[in-house]
Amino acid sequence: MIRHGMVLAAGLGQRMRPLTAETAKPLLPLMGRSLLDHALDRLALAGVEEVVVNAHWCAEKVAAALAAREGQRGETTPRLRLQLEPELLETGGGIRRALPRLGDAPFAVVNGDAYWLDGPTPALTLLARHFDPARMDALLLLIRTSRIEGEVGRGDFFLDGEGRLTRPGPRQIAPYLFGGVQIMAPALVAPEPEGRFSLNRCYDRAIEAGRLFGLVHDGAWFHLSTPGDLIRTERRLRDGMLSHWL
């Protein structure tokens, strides 16, 4: 079981402007709850006991949201730890700074704007079951690009028969997009010096070593990049694509 997790909530959310002009993207509401609350709910369901949430843009509002949730915490909900980042560290740098709080065992990482509906088994539970630290530095939740409404570009990854990931070449279109949910070993980012860097640098190193893996999501996933994406997702959910989360 994964005991620790992190929600990446420090981004600027520029493509979601003007909605993020005065608030952090993970605090935007969807079906009456913030994206951050949805992410923390899913981590709680997976049995995570402590979650680090980093904050940069509108950090005081993220801190207030966490304080309000922590004040209502029950015995089965995770402890929340705020990681303030006065300078934006990007995805890799934020996780690297949080390592002392995340411990020595594999942990979950969820992007603050990731929103999904689970299949028969919760996605984080499936990732935890399939994560093998002897073979993997990270196990990423993958979404088939053919099932995504919104811009997917050239896709993110190819997936081989054993679950290993590779990047698309200059003229290739990859069939999978990273869904912003993963289990990783501390070793993925530990070799990096503290400071600002993208997690993609760590992924590329893991690909070269054959240690970056993917698992295809068997539920629904929603692309939330622009205000239009958020409106479309809310409409679809209200029109009938509901689950026990809502």
In the chain, the number of structural domains is 1
Confidence of residue 71 (pLDDT cuts 50, 70, 90): confident
| Model confidence pLDDT, tens digit, residues 187-221 | 999 999 999 999 999 999 999 999 999 999 999 99
Domain that holds residue 9: 4-238
Q: How far apart, in whole angstroms, are the C-alpha atoms of residue 11 and residue 140?
A: 20
Is the pLDDT assigned to residue 45 strictly greater than 70? yes
Is the pLDDT assigned to residue 243 strictly greater than 50? no
Could you tell me the sign of the dihedral formed by the alpha carbons of 119, 122, 126, 129, in that order? negative
Residue 245 falls within a domain, yes or no?
A: no
78: domain CATH number is 3.90.550.10
Residue 199 falls within a domain, yes or no?
A: yes
Helices 123-130, 35-45: crossing angle, 10 deg rounding: 50
pTM score:
0.93
Could you tell me the sign of the dihedral formed by the alpha carbons of 11, 14, 16, 18, in that order? positive
Is the pLDDT assigned to residue 98 strictly greater than 90? yes
Task: Work out the number of other CB atoms within 10 angstroms of the CB of residue 32.
Answer: 8
- Contact between residue 78 and residue 46 where contact means Cβ atoms under 8 Å apart: no
What is the CA angle 222-227-233, rounded to 5?
Answer: 30
Residue 13 falls within a domain, yes or no?
A: yes
> Environment class of residue 148 by beta-carbon count within 10 Å: exposed (0-12), middle (13-18) or buried (19+)?
middle
Q: State the pLDDT at residue 144.
A: 95
How many CA atoms lie within 13 Å of 192's alpha carbon, on the beta-carbon side? 27
